[in-house]
Structure 1
């Protein structure tokens, strides 16, 4: 099967990294079109041997992008078009239909209760989304929570397939050598207790809660934030006002997959450097960083994480749900800090979300959309 993936951008975000990981495991021939921002994930895809085309879209209303995308789809003679992220889902679905491709699948990566990819869920946003959704065949929801949100909008349940994100468990396994190297590179003391946060530095992730908590925690506690975004300077300023700027490390964007694990400050290495992952976000579609932390054997504190809440009964996870206020995070971080350490092993929660399982489920969605038999892998 020849598949074209259309995505809004290819910076180091969760959906973008997930696409690269997925293409390493799903059978078939896969090309990628990015509407904007061919960043570090585009470079990684090319290293993997994937053809990446930058459409050069200038903005949301750049009408020239649509005919260019239609021509590209026709020339590629694709069996299926798979779209990712809000803008790409809208333009990609329209272009696929105009190009004569009926097998169109879209993944809903970032639909929260009140926003989608950081934009408020206004009536007009929902109406535009519904209009585009009708042009596709299937929408993939990354969690049952997202599927319920789509159903509440009036999307027919038989048009939604639940396919959780996947994690390369082996790659995220704790690495003691990477822990030492990462701490040395970032200036983190070997004996520090490092609380980590992973994600875009935007208001919705609520990393300011962790900065505030740092002021109430012992001096050996450090906060390591991995990601970039518009709140970066505000978080640095808040740490300065709280007198904890010297205990805050902003690591910037880091790839999930680097050419060589050894010596690379990629996300698996940075998770190895942490002692705890904290996720104070109150609105998540899945919670990929939490699952990646589970693969690294880290204890996790989270305010909202559908990936953990939707686990089958009895599936072990080193994750505790806490209220999203600063005092609760202070209390729970203190508790985890006092617990005895041990050998870090992936939890069964991480194994449940293996990339192999996610890839098999994606393949079944593809062949169903194209009218072929499925493999029968259970969700």
Structure 2
């Protein structure tokens, strides 16, 4: 068996982590990662011992690499193409037609929302992406809810496999970082949000909730970069939250940041199953999340965290207030331990690997 994973290479969020951790479990001669640009993803994959092939584009509209990819797929005799993300999915239409190799995808986000706030061009690419998604041989859904969303798009139920995102859980917590240099005190209530700086991630909901709470001891660490960073920084300034919100950019020490925190946040309008929440669970940190994707399969409300409606600032505010009260009553650590116990047995990387491998073999056997 030989599988080519195809992804743009510019990802810095959950899809990057998903691909690297999954491929690292496979024997090195069974998987190859192809990217269209250098970046953190390719660098981390190489460090993990994954074979990475670069098909450099002069721009994202450069289609000259498609013929090279076809020749590569044929010469290396791949059995399966596994695409990740809109660009790879669109290219998959051509690659599948020219090679006849089995084609599957892991959809990491709602394909109808990937180009939100991109105007006319965004609507065109959304339609093209939805067309591509309907042309594949098989699909991974990272939650039962997302499986149902794919089926509503017209995809046959027996072509969709639910497979939970997974990580390698550790027996010990990471070493917490000292946050004093940022202006965070030991008595502050620290929340960490790991998410691309993108409209779909709902940072504005969190900022407005913080403004309404009006408590300078509540701090927010933002991990990630993205296209609306300047817009979000201006919003923080306009809301007078500069002493509470910290833009940390892309980081390699997320585990340590979570270990230094009291609450993990997610405020997305849409997700499949966020790996960031599993990383928080691994550090025994309770979670506050919007009701997206498969979060209900991870978080038990008031036992291991909070789930609130999407785009509901008031509900988000009240949940932060509730979490702060639990922190002051020394209840949060117990919630975090309970979350870890459940997540570490249900959402392991080993489960993800075994299910993915079996689907690959099943697809090959159908040839």
Q: Within 5 Å, which residues of 2 pair with 1:127-146? A: 128-131=129-132, 133-134=134-135, 136-146=136-146
2:245 pairs, out of 248, 251, 254, with 248
| Cα shift readout 1:18-64 (whole Å, capped 9, x = no counterpart) | 1000012234521111123x211211111122121221123443221
User: What corresponds to 1:322 in structure 2?
Assistant: 308
What do residues 264-289 of structure 1 show as CA deviations (whole Å, max 9, x unaligned)? xx111111121112222222222322
Matched, 1:79 2:79: yes
Q: What's the CA shift string for 1:297-328, capped at 9, x where partnerless?
A: 2121112232222459x899612112343332
| Secondary structure of residue in 2 paired with 1:26 | coil
Q: If the length of structure 2 is used for normalisation, what is the TM-score?
A: 0.87
Which one is further off, 300-309 or 119-128?
119-128
Q: Distance in 2 between matches of 1:236 and 1:214?
A: 14
Counterpart pick for 2:255 among 268, 271, 277: 268
**Residue of 214, 224, 233 corresponding to 2:221:** 224
Q: 8 Å contact 1:133–1:139 — kept in the other structure?
A: no
Residue 198 (structure 1) aligns with: 194
Q: Distance in 1 between matches of 2:117 and 2:363?
A: 29
| 3-state SS, counterpart of residue 236 of structure 1 | helix
Q: Indicate the residue corresponding to 1:262 in structure 2.
A: none
Give the total of aligned pairs: 353
Alignment of 1:100-179 (within 5 A): 100-101=100-101, 103-111=102-110, 114-116=112-114, 118=116, 122=123, 125-126=126-127, 128-131=129-132, 133-134=134-135, 136-170=136-170, 174-175=173-174, 178-179=175-176
* Alpha-carbon distance between aligned partners in 1 of 2:321 and 2:315, rounded to the nearest angstrom: 10
Q: Does 2:333 correspond to 1:337? A: no
Per-residue deviation at 1:99? 2.9
In the other structure, the counterpart of 1:302 is 289
Conservation of the 8 A alpha-carbon contact between 1:174 and 1:296: yes
d(CA) in 2 for partners of 1:168, 1:55? 30
Q: Which residue of 2 aligns with 1:354?
A: 348
How far apart are 1:69 and its partner, in Å?
0.9
Instruction: Quickly say closer, same or farther: Cα 1:316–1:25, change in 2 above 3 A.
Output: farther
**Consecutive unaligned residues in structure 2, runs of 5 or more:** none
Aligned CA distance change for structure 1 residues 126 and 163 (closer, same or farther; 3 Å): farther
Residues 182 and 84 of structure 1, relative CA distance in 2, 3 Å threshold? farther
Deviating more after overlay: 298-307 vs 40-49: 298-307
Residue by residue, what CA displacement relative to the aligned partner does 1:60-106 show, whole Å, maximum 9, x if unpaired? Answer: 432212101111212222222211111102213531441342x2221
Does 2:357 correspond to 1:363?
Answer: yes
With normalisation by structure 1, the TM-score equals 0.84
Match of residue 259 from structure 1:
none
